């Protein structure tokens, strides 16, 4: 056990592990020290100077987030000197910050705005020089506005340390320090995986998703189009937060009702696409195992992960399942089978996906994501964008009555809804595969080995004629470790699930950004994931292969899973991509008129 | 631009296993190539297993490193406080006019580049300009013509 030391903070005697920082000790004792750049374990660099405290005997005020505790240390967090210094630092940060708060995407959920209010900052006594930075809006998923950036480096740390992509960094020096891509190029031309974890990390409005809201409003206005919407499993577990509902509230019925009020002709559940995915992917797995195919097979639901694999581990491309992701599968089904049975011309169908994900915006633009030159999906809005649309339409979300998803797709299985949490795709596949191999429904349908926040989860399942070895990784940093183990022969598996975002889709880059306080106090991942596990338990159908619509789809249209027809519309292929492209310097620079 | 890959790999391999390898490598590349081209940054990033963004960040942090080739003659004009109040901005302006390039740029023939520097530590001679290792002090703008003429 770690040795403990006694320290005194604001007169309160505390006993804390000797490797603690003053900030960590204070937070343990519910002594509130403000921070901006600090992210525990990820970005502890003492850059923003908001966490300054007085340490008895120390020469100057100290940044508590990087100041280690020491036996007998006396700390004061609330003296005139501390308050004045913190406030002056905050005023300096604000002095060259683009302070158009009313029109900022992060208004009311901005850590800088919140601190300005809490530290009682009034007029800024000095107006700093404002460098007018061009906005990088060339990427399909992520927009960066450095006029709002406070150079805290949280996005940089997440990108490099958590996701191990490191496509952005600090450039130049001093006042001219700027976060971004080398040579003023756009994120678009880097090996950015579009996961949006940088957006989740940003304390201010410097990072946001590329909005598709106008695209959707315009489609809804076009009376020639049959505009349908589908919602990913993780959206229902978080959307309520945007309307003040507690974290972990499942809002499936309210969400469906609100979407109908927005004017969509039909509201479908991406879970149906997830059930189709299990049919295709499960069959593909058994086929690879039985016929000497490339193993381990790796899931392909997460477009961030796919892009990561293409850039950083192209040698694993043959291991990727050829399945499209659930929402693109469903999009393709809507523009073929659904169009047929409804008697609607496929080109008149406009498919909108509501996703917890920013990478899905990039995914729908991939050239492969089409059938007969019709795009599988026409627009992707994040959970946050949906909330904005609902607010703009003045829908009383909290008080709206639940409504079901529309027919003919109806309700999907419980196996599909858990896709939204890390391990969920694996568990859903195991249910169907195990049932198929044992020939009867399972005694224990929940595969707990796949659940939880451990970065890499490994397990073995005994099935007739095979002991299935699997692993689940979430966050591409963990995926990297797992793949390195597979590459070196240290570990062997049949089946691997990878989700690009830590925690999986429930904590995806397109999800509501919890306030600073909420993030500190609650286990966001577990609360949202449990909402999905609850919904799974409440559903009558819990195997993907028991989904009535999916059965009919195969009977009437696709034939068998992995059939020729299924391959034509539900499967895809991948491309090896450079980490650093040779013609990088010829790419459009940010702010350059194209 | 094609770079001498063998030279680059020699520099990288010589320093690779040392602490602070990145800084050493950047110094050597700057000295050998006259700048640190993108092609070299890519290789350095791959070989040291650090992101390109970090390599680029270090290069742009230190004024010692440059992204573009510097001229055969590196003209530095001190814009530190002492030189500035003694009119070094006028000196810089004159140099820019004669060489037809701005501070931070290199002339098309690769002969000259101009640097607007911070204090060079010769305030007693203000205003000061340097050309490579040579120092010229107590300048008036008109002096510049003759001085530059010496460097061809």
Angle subtended by helix axes B38-48 and B5-15, to nearest 10? 40
The catalytic position among A24, A148, A324, A360 is: A360
Rounded Cα–Cα distance for residues A387 and A239 (Å)? 7
Considering the domain architecture, whether residues A195 and A176 belong to the same structural domain is answered as yes
> What tokens does B18 get?
């040392």
Nearest to A423 by CA among A264, A240, A233: A233
Q: Do the chains contact at A169 and B56, CB–CB below 8 Å?
A: yes
Q: How many CB atoms lie within 10 A of CB B109?
A: 8
Considering the domain architecture, whether residues A79 and A102 belong to the same structural domain is answered as no
| pLDDT averaged over every residue in chain A | 96
Pairwise pLDDT comparison (B3 vs A405), residue with the higher score: A405
Does position A594 have pLDDT exceeding 70, yes or no? no
- CATH number for position A45: 3.10.20.740
Contact by Cβ (8 Å): A177, A170: yes
Position A545 in a domain = yes
Considering the domain architecture, whether residues A170 and A157 belong to the same structural domain is answered as yes
Does position A590 have pLDDT exceeding 70, yes or no? yes
pLDDT in tens, B30-87: 999 989 999 999 999 999 999 999 999 999 999 889 998 888 899 999 999 999 999 9
3-state DSSP call for residue A299?
A: coil
Rounded Cα–Cα distance for residues A472 and A458 (Å)? 7
Residue-level pLDDT at B70: 87
Residue-level pLDDT at A457: 98
Q: Number of helices (H) and strands (E), helices first, in chain A?
A: 20, 19
- Tell which of A63, A94, A125 closes a domain: A94
Does the annotation mark A321 as catalytic?
A: yes
H or E, element range at A24 = helix A22-28
Cis peptide leading into A530, omega within 30 of 0? no
- Tell which of A172, A194, A209 closes a domain: A209
Cis peptide leading into A248, omega within 30 of 0? no
Q: How many CB atoms lie within 10 A of CB A234?
A: 32
- CATH number for position A368: 3.40.50.1780
Rounded Cα–Cα distance for residues B90 and B141 (Å)? 6
Rounded Cα–Cα distance for residues A462 and A561 (Å)? 24
Edge-to-edge order in the sheet of strand A495-499: A297-298, A495-499, A466-474, A456-463
Is the complex ipTM higher than 0.90?
A: yes
Rounded Cα–Cα distance for residues A507 and A528 (Å)? 8
Cα distances (angstroms) measured from residue A460 to each of A61, A69, A435, A457, A483: 54, 44, 16, 11, 18
Does the annotation mark A460 as catalytic?
A: no
Considering the domain architecture, whether residues A84 and A124 belong to the same structural domain is answered as no
Does position B25 have pLDDT exceeding 80, yes or no? yes
Minimum-distance CB partner of A580 among B52, B54, B61: B52
Residue in the block written with tokens 């530095």: B76
Minimum-distance CB partner of A171 among B45, B51, B57: B57
Residue B49 with chain A: CB contacts under 8 Å: none
Residue A166 with chain B: CB contacts under 8 Å: 50-54
Residue-level pLDDT at A253: 98
Q: How many CB atoms lie within 10 A of CB A548?
A: 14
Give A36's contacts (C-beta < 8 A, 6+ positions apart). Answer: A48, A50, A93, A111, A112, A115, A150, A152, A203
Does the annotation mark A95 as catalytic?
A: no
Residue A40: Cβ-neighbour burial (10 angstroms; 0-12, 13-18, 19+): middle
Note whether B38 contacts A: Cβ–Cβ < 8 A: yes
Domain count, chain A: 3
Strand partners for A179: A170
3-state secondary structure A307-335: HHHHHHCHHHHHHECCECCHHHHHHHHHH
Considering the domain architecture, whether residues A13 and A87 belong to the same structural domain is answered as yes
Angle subtended by helix axes A111-118 and A80-95, to nearest 10? 140
Does the annotation mark A368 as catalytic?
A: yes
Model confidence band, residue B2 (pLDDT cutoffs 50, 70, 90): low
Contact by Cβ (8 Å): A14, A22: no
- CATH number for position A133: 3.30.70.20
Strand partners for A16: A5
Q: Do the chains contact at A181 and B53, CB–CB below 8 Å?
A: yes
Minimum-distance CB partner of B42 among A167, A181, A580: A580
State the average pLDDT over residues A434-454.
94
- Tell which of A38, A68, A94 closes a domain: A94
Does the annotation mark A301 as catalytic?
A: yes
Residue A156 with chain B: CB contacts under 8 Å: 53
Q: How many CB atoms lie within 10 A of CB B58?
A: 18
Residue-level pLDDT at B64: 84
Contact by Cβ (8 Å): A53, A32: no
The catalytic position among A505, A526, A535, A544 is: A505
Model confidence band, residue B104 (pLDDT cutoffs 50, 70, 90): confident
Q: What is the DSSP letter of A463?
A: E
Residue-level pLDDT at A593: 72
Considering the domain architecture, whether residues A162 and A256 belong to the same structural domain is answered as no
Residue span of the structural domain in which A30 resides: 4-94
| pLDDT averaged over every residue in chain B | 93
Nearest to A73 by CA among A127, A6, A128: A6
Residue-level pLDDT at A128: 83
Considering the domain architecture, whether residues A436 and A483 belong to the same structural domain is answered as yes
Q: How many CB atoms lie within 10 A of CB B133?
A: 6
The catalytic position among A15, A221, A315, A368 is: A368
State the average pLDDT over residues A249-268.
98
Q: Which DSSP string corresponds to A69-96?
A: --TT-EEESS-HHHHHHHHHHHHHHHHT
Does position B1 have pLDDT exceeding 60, yes or no? no
Rounded Cα–Cα distance for residues B76 and A217 (Å)? 57
Residue B61 with chain A: CB contacts under 8 Å: 170, 172-173
State the average pLDDT over residues A305-332.
98
Cis peptide leading into B127, omega within 30 of 0? yes
Considering the domain architecture, whether residues A219 and A192 belong to the same structural domain is answered as no
> What tokens does B73 get?
């003659």
Model confidence band, residue B134 (pLDDT cutoffs 50, 70, 90): very high
Minimum-distance CB partner of B38 among A172, A579, A584: A584
Closest approach of chain B CAs to the CA of A182, in angstroms? Answer: 6
Q: Which chain A residue has its CA at the smallest distance from B60's CA?
A: A172
Q: Which DSSP string corresponds to A508-543?
A: -TTS----HHHHHHS-HHHHHHHHHHHHHHH-S--S
Residue-level pLDDT at A79: 97
3-state DSSP call for residue A470?
A: strand
Q: Do the chains contact at A585 and B38, CB–CB below 8 Å?
A: yes
Strand partners for A467: A462
Considering the domain architecture, whether residues A104 and A149 belong to the same structural domain is answered as yes
Considering the domain architecture, whether residues A48 and A190 belong to the same structural domain is answered as no
How many Cα atoms sit within 13 Å of A551 on the Cβ side? 11
Rounded Cα–Cα distance for residues A332 and B47 (Å)? 43
Does the annotation mark A281 as catalytic?
A: yes
Does position A106 have pLDDT exceeding 90, yes or no? yes
Residue-level pLDDT at A592: 85
- Give me the total of CB pairs closer than 8 Å, taking one residue from chain A and one from chain B: 45
- What is the residue extent of each domain of chain B? 5-61, 73-149
Q: Do the chains contact at B52 and A182, CB–CB below 8 Å?
A: yes
Residue in the block written with tokens 């194209």: A594
Q: Which chain B residue has its CA at the smallest distance from A582's CA?
A: B39
| Pair type for strands B129-131 and B73-78 | antiparallel
State the average pLDDT over residues A204-229.
98
Note whether B42 contacts A: Cβ–Cβ < 8 A: yes
Pairwise pLDDT comparison (A346 vs A123), residue with the higher score: A346
Closest approach of chain B CAs to the CA of A511, in angstroms? Answer: 27
Model confidence band, residue A516 (pLDDT cutoffs 50, 70, 90): confident
Model confidence band, residue A297 (pLDDT cutoffs 50, 70, 90): very high
Considering the domain architecture, whether residues A256 and A303 belong to the same structural domain is answered as yes
Q: Do the chains contact at B53 and A166, CB–CB below 8 Å?
A: yes
Q: Do the chains contact at A172 and B61, CB–CB below 8 Å?
A: yes
Note whether B53 contacts A: Cβ–Cβ < 8 A: yes
Position A591 in a domain = no
Instruction: Write out the residues of chain A at the interface with chain B, using a CB-CB cutoff of 8 A.
Output: 156, 160, 165-173, 181-183, 579-580, 584-585
CATH T-level topology, domain B73-149: Glutaredoxin (3.40.30)
Residue B57 with chain A: CB contacts under 8 Å: 169-171
Minimum-distance CB partner of B54 among A166, A181, A585: A166
Considering the domain architecture, whether residues A229 and A337 belong to the same structural domain is answered as yes
Nearest to A273 by CA among A141, A386, A363: A363
Q: Number of helices (H) and strands (E), helices first, in chain B?
A: 7, 4
Rounded Cα–Cα distance for residues B140 and B94 (Å)? 10
3-state DSSP call for residue A288?
A: helix
Residue B40 with chain A: CB contacts under 8 Å: none
State the average pLDDT over residues A147-162.
97
pLDDT in tens, A19-46: 999 999 999 999 999 999 999 999 999 9
3-state secondary structure A393-436: CCCCHHHCCCCCCCCCCCCCCHHHHHHHCCCHHHHHHHHHHHHH
Percentage of residues in chain A having pLDDT higher than 90: 95
pLDDT in tens, A38-84: 999 999 999 999 999 999 999 999 999 999 999 999 999 999 999 99
């Amino acid at each position: 056990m770690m040795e403990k030391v006694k320290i005194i903070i604001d007169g309160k005697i505390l006993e804390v592990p000797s490797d603690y920082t003053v900030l960590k000790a204070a937070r343990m004792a519910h002594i509130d020290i403000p921070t901006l750049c600090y992210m525990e374990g990820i970005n502890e660099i003492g850059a923003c100077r908001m966490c300054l405290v007085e340490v008895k005997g120390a020469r100057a005020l100290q940044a508590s987030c990087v100041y280690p505790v020491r036996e007998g240390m006396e700390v004061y967090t609330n003296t005139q000197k501390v308050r004045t210094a913190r406030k002056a630092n905050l005023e300096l940060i604000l002095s060259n910050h683009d302070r158009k708060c009313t029109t900022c995407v992060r208004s009311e959920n901005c850590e800088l705005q919140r601190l300005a209010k809490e530290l009682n900052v009034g007029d800024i006594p000095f107006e700093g020089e404002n460098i007018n930075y061009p906005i990088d809006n060339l990427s399909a998923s992520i927009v960066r506005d450095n006029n709002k950036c406070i150079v805290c480096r949280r996005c940089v740390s997440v990108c490099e340390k958590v996701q191990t992509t490191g496509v952005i960094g600090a450039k130049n020096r001093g006042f001219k320090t700027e976060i971004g891509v080398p040579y003023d190029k756009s994120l678009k031309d880097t090996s950015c995986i579009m996961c949006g974890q940088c957006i989740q990390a940003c304390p201010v409005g410097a990072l946001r998703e590329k909005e598709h809201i106008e695209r959707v409003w315009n489609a809804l206005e076009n009376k020639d189009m049959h505009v349908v919407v589908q919602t990913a499993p993780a959206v229902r577990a978080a959307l309520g937060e945007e309307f003040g509902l507690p974290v972990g509230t499942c809002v499936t019925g309210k969400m469906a009702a609100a979407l109908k009020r927005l004017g969509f002709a039909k509201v479908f559940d991406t879970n149906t696409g997830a059930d189709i995915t299990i049919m295709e992917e499960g069959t593909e797995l058994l086929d690879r195992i039985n016929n000497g195919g490339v193993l381990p097979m790796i899931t392909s639901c997460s477009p961030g992960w796919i892009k990561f694999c293409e850039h950083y581990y192209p040698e694993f491309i043959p291991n990727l399942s050829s399945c499209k992701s659930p929402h693109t599968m469903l999009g393709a089904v809507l523009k073929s089978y659904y169009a047929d049975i409804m008697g609607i011309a496929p080109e008149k169908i406009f498919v909108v996906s509501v996703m917890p994900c920013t990478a899905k915006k990039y995914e729908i633009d991939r050239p492969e994501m089409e059938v007969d030159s019709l795009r599988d999906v026409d627009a992707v809005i994040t959970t946050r964008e949906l909330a904005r649309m609902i607010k703009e339409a003045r829908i009383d979300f909290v008080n709206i009555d639940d409504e079901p998803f529309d027919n003919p797709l109806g309700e999907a299985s419980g196996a599909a809804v858990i896709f939204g949490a890390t391990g969920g795709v694996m568990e859903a596949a195991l249910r169907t595969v195990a049932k198929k191999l044992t020939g009867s429904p399972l005694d224990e349908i929940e595969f707990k080995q796949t659940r939880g926040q451990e970065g890499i989860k490994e397990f073995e399942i005994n099935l007739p004629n095979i002991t299935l070895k699997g692993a689940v990784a979430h966050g591409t940093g963990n995926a990297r470790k797992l793949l390195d183990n597979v590459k070196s022969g240290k570990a062997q598996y049949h089946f691997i699930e990878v989700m690009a975002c830590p925690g999986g889709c429930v904590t995806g880059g397109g999800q509501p950004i919890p306030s600073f306080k909420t993030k500190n106090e609650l286990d966001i991942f577990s609360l949202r994931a449990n909402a999905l596990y609850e919904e799974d338990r409440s559903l009558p159908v819990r195997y993907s292969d028991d989904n009535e619509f999916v059965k009919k789809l195969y009977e009437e249209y696709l034939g068998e899973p992995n059939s020729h027809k299924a391959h034509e519309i539900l499967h895809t292929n991948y491309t090896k991509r450079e980490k650093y492209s040779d013609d990088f310097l010829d790419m459009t620079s940010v702010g350059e008129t194209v | 631009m094609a770079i001498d890959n063998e030279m680059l790999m020699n520099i990288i391999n010589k320093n690779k296993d040392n602490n602070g390898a990145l800084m050493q490598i950047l110094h050597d590349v700057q000295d050998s190539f006259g700048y640190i081209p993108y092609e070299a940054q890519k290789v350095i990033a791959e070989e040291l297993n650090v992101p390109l963004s970090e390599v680029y960040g270090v290069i742009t942090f230190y004024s010692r490193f440059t992204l573009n080739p510097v001229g055969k003659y590196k003209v530095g004009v001190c814009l530190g406080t002492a030189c500035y109040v003694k009119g070094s901005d006028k000196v810089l302006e004159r140099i820019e006019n004669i060489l037809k390039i701005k501070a931070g740029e290199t002339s098309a023939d690769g002969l000259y580049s101009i640097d607007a520097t911070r204090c060079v530590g010769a305030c007693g001679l203000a205003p000061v300009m340097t050309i490579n290792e040579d120092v010229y002090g107590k300048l008036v703008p008109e002096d510049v013509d003759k001085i530059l003429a010496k460097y061809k």
